[in-house]
């Protein structure tokens, strides 16, 4: 009897797919065309294909070449960004943009055009990519900036072909130690003022998404710079051995945790030393932390709205805080203008990301927040979405038609369609 194909899921674990998965260990073994994924750190269904096979590219993770004169690193699509940082920071180089997890792969960072804690001046990941190699039906294609195919590939959800390798321009850094200044933001207005006034290389705000009234929007601002010194990188890894019970992230528990976390920083602020890993990838210390949300998984809502829509975002945060559904994982950042693809998420404004356990009330809340985002002239992030409606999210990306034209030429048989692309009907005019 033939066993059923394996079930797999995105990081949120709320959406799942079942189908054959092929894991090539070198380019010679890459003998089929199908949707590709890496470590599946997108939260929803961006990496899922319930209608056929998928390619697991995580075994193609070699560093191929490095030019110290220019800082250009050539590497395979399955290479992890955290491993790039750990390998090159001691040599004075760092990925110019890093997402919130070091487990994200090069291919995934390109396909989602990820952003980091320095987007306000460094732009998105794709703005630092100088060449991409794609596997298409006709063979390999080399794609470079300034072309329509490059803009359709970066942030393009893997629809132009299988990303096999790329050239990434690293940025110089002083070392692998971070000097981090932490300050309390007492409310929404102060939080935005700190973000707007920050001149640091890296800036991020943790926001207490349960605080209401005069404390709405309170949180902690972290500003950081690279420094030299003894690395304080901790080797201990915590694992979540089982799915947590449903009450583990109940409203009283989350409110108590958030209050304690807010007070961990003195009212006068402080400056601390952190390892690069602890600053950029704090949750990577807890393997399988997504299991804390229980068997049903979780959803993340992440939007960006223009600077002029700050009050609309405040109203959205009020809706979230009054719901009592938010988890402790909530982030507020200021974004700049840098984006590299037709479907790249960033715009100049403020981005808010909040996690919710997968419950009916949370799904209803996220759908309401989607409507709020559209009304504010903002957009949702494909890497985090699992619930959006196609018509509304399509309208958030004004260059969608240009992307569709290039994708239709690159993949006329729709071999690379994923569940997310079908759910949102992105490839249909």
pLDDT of residue 244: 85
- 247 or 330, higher pLDDT: 330
- pTM for the structure as a whole: 0.96
pLDDT of residue 236: 67
Looking at domain 177-390, what is its CATH homologous superfamily? FAD-linked oxidases, C-terminal domain (3.40.462.10)
Q: What is the pLDDT of residues 411-426, one digit of tens each?
A: 999 999 999 999 999 9
Summarize the confidence of residues 324-328 as an average pLDDT: 95
- Predicted confidence (pLDDT) at residue 113 exceeds the cutoff of 80: yes
pLDDT of residue 393: 92
What is the signed CA dihedral for 276, 277, 279, 280, rounded to 10 degrees? Answer: 100
- Predicted confidence (pLDDT) at residue 230 exceeds the cutoff of 70: no
pLDDT of residue 228: 81
- Predicted confidence (pLDDT) at residue 407 exceeds the cutoff of 80: yes
pLDDT of residue 1: 67
- Predicted confidence (pLDDT) at residue 270 exceeds the cutoff of 80: yes
| Region label for 288, one of left (φ > 0), alpha (ψ between -120 and 50) or beta (otherwise) | left
- Predicted confidence (pLDDT) at residue 383 exceeds the cutoff of 60: yes
Instruction: Calculate helix-pair angle for 360-375, 310-323, nearest 10 degrees.
Output: 170
- Predicted confidence (pLDDT) at residue 2 exceeds the cutoff of 80: no
- Predicted confidence (pLDDT) at residue 304 exceeds the cutoff of 60: yes
- Predicted confidence (pLDDT) at residue 178 exceeds the cutoff of 70: yes
Summarize the confidence of residues 334-360 as an average pLDDT: 97
- Predicted confidence (pLDDT) at residue 243 exceeds the cutoff of 90: no
Q: State percent of the chain over pLDDT 90.
A: 90
pLDDT of residue 379: 98
Residue 233: pLDDT band with limits 50, 70, 90: low
Q: What is the C-alpha separation between 379 and 347, in angstroms, rounded? A: 9
- Predicted confidence (pLDDT) at residue 91 exceeds the cutoff of 70: yes
Whole-number average pLDDT of the chain: 95
pLDDT of residue 246: 75
Summarize the confidence of residues 20-42 as an average pLDDT: 95
Please give the structure tokens belonging to residue 428: 């249909």
- Predicted confidence (pLDDT) at residue 340 exceeds the cutoff of 70: yes
- Predicted confidence (pLDDT) at residue 239 exceeds the cutoff of 60: yes
Q: What is the C-alpha separation between 326 and 55, in angstroms, rounded? A: 34
Residue 232: pLDDT band with limits 50, 70, 90: low
Q: What is the C-alpha separation between 389 and 225, in angstroms, rounded? A: 40
Give me the residue label for tokens 């007070």.
263
pLDDT of residue 231: 55
Give the number of other Cβ atoms within 10 Å of residue 314's Cβ: 18
Would you kindly state where each structural domain of the chain is located, as residue ranges?
177-390
Residue 211: pLDDT band with limits 50, 70, 90: very high
Summarize the confidence of residues 336-364 as an average pLDDT: 97
Q: Are 163 and 36 spatial neighbours (Cβ–Cβ below 8 Å)?
A: yes
Q: What is the DSSP string of 120-136?
A: HHH--GGGGEEEEEEEE
Q: What is the C-alpha separation between 310 and 280, in angstroms, rounded? A: 26
pLDDT of residue 245: 86
Residue 247: pLDDT band with limits 50, 70, 90: confident
Residue 235: pLDDT band with limits 50, 70, 90: low
């Amino acid at each position: 009897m033939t066993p059923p194909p394996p079930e797999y899921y995105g990081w949120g674990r709320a959406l799942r797919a079942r189908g054959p998965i092929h894991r090539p260990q070198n380019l010679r073994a890459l003998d089929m065309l199908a949707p590709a994924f890496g470590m599946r750190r997108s939260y929803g269904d961006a990496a899922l294909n319930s209608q056929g096979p998928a390619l697991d590219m995580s075994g193609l993770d070699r560093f191929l070449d490095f030019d110290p004169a220019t800082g250009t690193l050539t590497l395979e699509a399955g290479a992890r960004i955290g491993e790039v940082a750990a390998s090159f920071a001691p040599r004075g180089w760092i990925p110019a943009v890093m997402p919130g997890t070091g487990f994200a792969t090069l291919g995934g960072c390109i396909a989602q055009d990820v952003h980091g804690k320095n987007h306000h001046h460094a732009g998105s990941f794709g703005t630092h990519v100088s060449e991409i190699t794609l596997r298409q039906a006709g063979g390999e294609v080399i794609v470079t900036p300034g072309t329509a195919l490059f803009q359709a590939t970066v942030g393009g959800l893997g629809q132009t072909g299988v990303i096999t390798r790329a050239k990434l321009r690293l940025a110089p850094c002083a070392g692998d130690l971070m000097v981090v200044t932490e300050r309390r933001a007492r409310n929404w207005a102060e939080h935005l003022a700190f973000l707007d006034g920050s001149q640091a290389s890296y800036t991020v705000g943790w926001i207490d998404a349960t605080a209401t009234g005069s404390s709405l929007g309170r949180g902690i601002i972290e500003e950081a710079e690279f420094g030299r010194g003894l690395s304080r990188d901790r080797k201990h890894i915590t694992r979540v051995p089982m799915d947590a019970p449903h009450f583990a992230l109940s409203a009283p528990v989350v409110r108590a945790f958030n209050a304690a976390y807010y007070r961990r920083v003195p009212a006068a602020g402080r400056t601390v030393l952190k390892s690069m890993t602890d600053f950029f990838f704090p949750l990577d210390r807890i393997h399988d932390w997504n299991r804390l949300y229980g068997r049903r998984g979780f959803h993340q809502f992440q939007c960006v709205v223009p600077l002029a829509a700050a009050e609309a975002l405040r109203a959205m945060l009020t809706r979230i805080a009054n719901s009592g559904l938010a988890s402790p994982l909530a982030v507020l950042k200021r974004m700049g203008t840098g984006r590299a693809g037709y479907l790249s998420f960033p715009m100049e404004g403020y981005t808010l990301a909040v996690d919710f356990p997968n419950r009916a009330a949370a799904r209803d809340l996220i759908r309401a927040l989607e409507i709020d985002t559209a009304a504010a002239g903002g957009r949702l992030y494909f890497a985090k979405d699992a619930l959006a409606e196609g018509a509304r999210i399509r309208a958030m990306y004004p260059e969608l038609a240009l992307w569709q034209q290039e994708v239709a030429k690159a993949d006329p048989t729709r071999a690379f369609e994923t569940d997310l692309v079908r759910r949102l009907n992105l490839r249909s005019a």
